[in-house]
Structures are given as structure tokens and as C-alpha cells.
Amino acid sequence: MPIILDKILLLIIVFAVGGLLCAIAQLLVVRTKISPARILVVFLIAGIFLETIGVFRYIREFAHAGVTVPIIGFGASLAKGAIEGAKQHGFIGAFSGGLTATALGIGIAVVSSFIVTLAFKPKTK
Amino acid sequence: MQAEQIKKRNKRYDKYVEAVSPKTAMLPSLAKSFWVGGLTCVIAQIIFELYTLAFPSVSEQAIIGFTLSTIIIIAVFLTGIGVFDKLGRYAGAGAFLPITGFANAMASAGMEFRSEGLIFGSQVKFFSVVGPVLVNGIVWSTVAGLIHSIINAVVG
């Protein structure tokens, strides 16, 4: 029983943290008229920064998918890969590590977008 | 003297722009982003838990990879059938901030420019929105790695 309660608590945390990040981004959209592309970049760099100073690990342990699913988590895993690559292979690893760590996600996104582009016609314009 | 007049005129114009531009009702739009974004993360977490049960011997890092791949495929499919666009209009940042929005940006740009040809339309436009994310991500994560390798070299 307590395991189920733990999981429910975890889902509530995930919902709250993920939702909060999106609400902050939406606040920026509504208030400052910064374009969504810029906001994505800002959150991405925030993730890279937090991973670089070693804080993101603790945030991830607390909020799990609440921070790994928003783009901030993409930045963090890029940085994590680059840092681990640098540890293992020196300077070369700093260049290859980030892409290696995120290769699966980028690969899936490109291939599935390619298939969908072939298979579907846009409905509304 | 003239500079001041221009300043005054600009101020008046700003006020006018503010008055005529449509106001996005703030609190409802924040709430919409909150619940859609939160729900996206919760769905990902549930998929993660199911994969953990199904593949107990696989590392957590790999399971996170499977999970993100799954929600990316779902998002791209929803883009294909035209559902994700509606979600994006409804939820704003709640739809574009999660990694699903990254996938949607790629697929929808590709679909939109299909009529201009597969290579010079769709495939060029794949990266028109996510390009800045990839460029900044690769550049700054490389910087992060270099900083760490310098620290490693200095501290030993």
C-alpha cells in the first residue's frame, strides 16, 4: 500500500513541477511577448547551466518527468552527456558527448517526422 | 525639443497599441498551460513506471530514453492527424515547452511545406523552428563539457 501512495505523491509532484514550468513559460509569452522559440532557448540554456553547476541532478531526483520532459531536461541531458564525455575522452568527448546522450530522442523525432510528412497532408492552414 | 516631441509621440503610440491589441486573459491561459504541461509530464512518468516494470534489468537512463521516444512518437502522430495544432492553440507553453512540442515543431513545419517539395520544402523546414534549440544546445553543452575538462585538467 505505501508504495502506491508513494507513486501517487510522485505523480502529484511531477504534475505540479511540470505544470509550473509551463505556466512560467506561458507567463513570459503573455507578459513580455518574447517569441516561443526564444523561450525554448532560454529554458534549454537554463537546463544546461543547472546541469553544469551540478544542481540539476537533485532537481531530477525530486521531480523526475516533471523536469526531464520539458525542454529544460533536454538541455540538462545534453550538458550531462558533454560533461561525462569530457571526463571519459577529454576535449574530444566534450564535443561528442552531448549529441551521443540525446541521439535517441533526436533520431526518433527526425525519423517519425519524416514518416508523418510522407503519410499525412496538412488539414488546416 | 524635437527629440522630446518624438518621445511623447512614441509614448502615445505605445498606449494606443496597448489599447487595441487583444488581451490574452492571463490567469486562464496560465491555468491551461499548467494542466496540459503537467499532464504531459504525468503521462510520461506513467509510461516510465510501466517500462520499469516491463524491463526490470534495463538501466534508468535507458528507460528515460524509451519514455521520451514514446511521447515523441505520440506527439508526431498527433501532429499528423491535426490534433496537436489544436492543443497548441489551447495550451500555449503547456504544449510547446515539453519535448513533445519540439517534436511537433519539426513535424508540423515539415507537413506545412510539403507542397514545396519533399527535400527543399519539408526537409529544409524540419529545422526551421528547432534549429536554434539544437544550435544553442550543442554549443553551450560543449562549452559545459570543455569547462569541466579544464577543471579536471587543473585539479587533476
Count: domains in chain A: 1
Kindly list the residues from chain A whose CB atom is less than 8 angstroms away from the CB atom of residue B149: 86-87, 90-91, 93-94
Rounded Cα–Cα distance for residues B126 and A74 (Å): 18
Chain pair A-B, CB pairs under 8 angstroms: 257
* Of A121 and B107, the one with more pLDDT: B107
- Cβ(B98)–Cβ(A69) under 8 Å? yes
Average pLDDT over residues B108-118: 86
Ranges of each domain in chain B:
32-129
pLDDT class for B22, splitting at 50, 70, 90?
low
Model confidence pTM above 0.80: yes
Rounded Cα–Cα distance for residues A18 and A72 (Å): 10
What pLDDT was estimated at residue B23?
Answer: 62
Question: Does the distance separating the beta carbons of B42 and A14 come in below 8 Å?
Answer: yes
Kindly list the residues from chain A whose CB atom is less than 8 angstroms away from the CB atom of residue B142: 82, 94-95, 98
**ipTM (interface pTM):** 0.90
Question: Does the distance separating the beta carbons of A98 and B148 come in below 8 Å?
Answer: no
Those residues with Cβ within 8 angstroms of residue A20's Cβ, 6 or more apart along the chain or in another chain: B34, B38
Those residues with Cβ within 8 angstroms of residue B11's Cβ, 6 or more apart along the chain or in another chain: none
Tell me the shortest Cα–Cα distance from B142 to chain A, in angstroms: 5
For residue A95, give the C-alpha cell: 564535443
What pLDDT was estimated at residue A14?
Answer: 92
Kindly list the residues from chain A whose CB atom is less than 8 angstroms away from the CB atom of residue B134: 106
Interface test with B, best of A44, A45, A116, A121 (most B CBs within 10 A): A116
Q: For the stretch B29-66, what's the b/e string if a residue is b when 16 or more beta carbons lie within 10 angstroms of its beta carbon?
A: bbbbbbbbbbbbbbbbbebbbebeeeeeeeeeeebbbb
Burial class (CB in 10 A: 0-12, 13-18, 19+), A46: middle
Those residues with Cβ within 8 angstroms of residue B140's Cβ, 6 or more apart along the chain or in another chain: A44, A45, A48, A75, A79
In a domain, A124, yes or no: no
What pLDDT was estimated at residue A1?
Answer: 64
Q: A residues 88-117 near B, CB within 8 Å?
A: 90-91, 93-95, 97-99, 102, 104-106, 108-110, 112-114, 116-117
In a domain, A125, yes or no: no
What pLDDT was estimated at residue B24?
Answer: 59
Q: Is A13 on the interface with B (CB under 8 A)?
A: no
Residue A70 DSSP class: B
Average pLDDT over residues A34-40: 88
Rounded Cα–Cα distance for residues B124 and A119 (Å): 18
Question: Does the distance separating the beta carbons of B152 and A86 come in below 8 Å?
Answer: yes
What pLDDT was estimated at residue B87?
Answer: 92
Structural domain of A15: 2-119
In a domain, A9, yes or no: yes
